[in-house]
Chain A
Amino acid sequence: MDPVIWFFLLGLTAGLLRSDLRLPPAIYELLSMLLLLTIGLKGGVELAQQPFAGVLPQMVAVIAMGITLPLLLFPILLYAGRFKRPDAASIAAHYGSVSVATYAVAVAYLGSKGVSFEAHMPLFVVLLEMPGLIVGILLARGLSSGMRWGALAHEIFLGKSMVLLLGGLLIGWATGPEAMAPLEPLFFDLFKGVLALFLLEMGLIAASQAQSLRRYGVFLVAFGLIVPIPLAAVGTALGWAIGLSPGGSMLLGVLAGSCSYIAAPAAMRIAVPQANPTLSLTISLGITFPFNIFFGIPLYHLMANTIHG
């Protein structure tokens, strides 16, 4: 098991045993900023070295996937899960959007296996953040009712994860690898160390969801454990279909199977206040995130290798 996963386990265990361990909020904030910027910069630098053409159809396909996935999940949550409409829409939106931490762990996993992947994958991370949120809001509220679309667009497009990912991508793309060299020690060399500390805190936060886990019962747990697998299968298959490498297909699978916990909770709390935030945060942080980093990532790697023959 990768050392960064051990850090998650350490945080999870410490949290479950009620240790007083806690990362200062400002440090946690900085770590998440570093991760987002690193992913953006890395993608931008690589994009600067290769022609952009050919990526556009892939971008369209990826956005279409981002719209479709929450639409598929919504009826399952509504009818099989018997969730209220806002709750079902909110959970669907969380799955439609992506988890950057899961993506970062998958990138570290591929790095340690020596598997290469498309340089422009971070672009897909950016593209997949938004559609799920918009679909989720529409599912919850419909088109009519006096919604403040301006405030909402601000929340979705100018949320910190979006600004940092896209900003990093643009800076990396505009400056290229040589100009970026002096920044490499901070952003690229420290990546795994930053990820390890970040996951320590994620473990603590996941542990804090344990109580609500008991409250919401079997369906939620089962949903959070099972649903990432078919979602990731769709993502991996789409990666294969649009001509990504096995590493790229696996990462698209990871993105499809991951569940947002930064952008989505904030956007949903504002746009769909009737939805219970504990419900979606529990399933996202308490169930799907740990599942993905322990079992999902190796499984999706296997899926990608299988589909690529």
Chain B
Amino acid sequence: MQPETKKLLTIVTEAVIEASLTADLKRLGAGGYTIVEARGSGSRGVRDAGWTTSGNIRVEVVCEPAVAARIADHLRENYYRDYAMILYLSDVSVLRPEKF
């Protein structure tokens, strides 16, 4: 089977907003997502996951470019100002395109 190119949108943000974030992802057309607990350091200081409110998550969404752009716009408008959040996009080759 020929691999097909999709977008991988990766979001690193605060664990506390997981519920509202995943609801938004679904609503904006993401077929699914993968979440892992994360730790690290950035412009908002060390996020060491030692406490519920200091824990990070890394959310990965594989989707069509249009959906990725829509999600990125939504996050910029609704979360950037008040929450620790970074986003990055990359191209990925998927082997079972019907899943996304």
**A binding-site residues for B, Cβ under 8 Å:** 22, 25, 151, 204-205, 208, 262, 265-266, 269-270, 273-274, 277-278, 281
Contact = CB atoms under 8 A, between A and B. Distances in A.
17 contacts: A151-B19, A204-B50, A205-B50, A205-B51, A208-B50, A265-B51, A265-B52, A269-B16, A269-B17, A269-B53, A270-B17, A273-B83, A274-B82, A278-B45, A281-B51, A281-B53, A281-B54
Contacts of B17: 269-270
Contacts of A265: 51-53
The 4 closest A-B pairs by CB, nearest first: A273-B82, A265-B53, A269-B16, A277-B53
Contacts of B19: 151
B49 interface: yes
B20 interface: yes
A40 to B, nearest CB: 20
A262 B48 contact: no
From A208, A265, A277, residue with most partner B Cβ within 10 Å: A277
Nearest to B79: A273
Interface residues of B, number: 15
B50 A266 contact: no
A75 B20 CA distance: 31
Interface of B: 14, 16-17, 19-20, 45, 48-54, 82-83
B52 A266 contact: yes
A25 B54 CA distance: 12
Nearest to B19: A151
B14 A269 contact: yes
A20 to B, nearest CB: 12
B64 to A, nearest CB: 28
A278 B49 CA distance: 14
Contacts of A277: 53
B53 A266 contact: yes
Contacts of A270: 16-17, 20
A208 B45 CA distance: 12
A262 B51 CA distance: 9
A274 B82 CA distance: 6
Given A269-B17, A269-B53, 16 more contacts: A22-B50, A25-B49, A25-B50, A151-B19, A205-B51, A208-B50, A262-B52, A266-B53, A269-B16, A270-B16, A270-B20, A273-B82, A273-B83, A274-B82, A281-B51, A281-B53
From B19, B48, B50, residue with most partner A Cβ within 10 Å: B50
Contacts of B82: 273-274
Contacts of A273: 82-83
Nearest to B37: A25
Given A151-B20, A266-B16, A208 B48 contact: yes
Nearest to B84: A277
A22 B83 CA distance: 26
B73 to A, nearest CB: 19
A277 B44 CA distance: 11
A205 B14 CA distance: 18
A270 B14 CA distance: 11
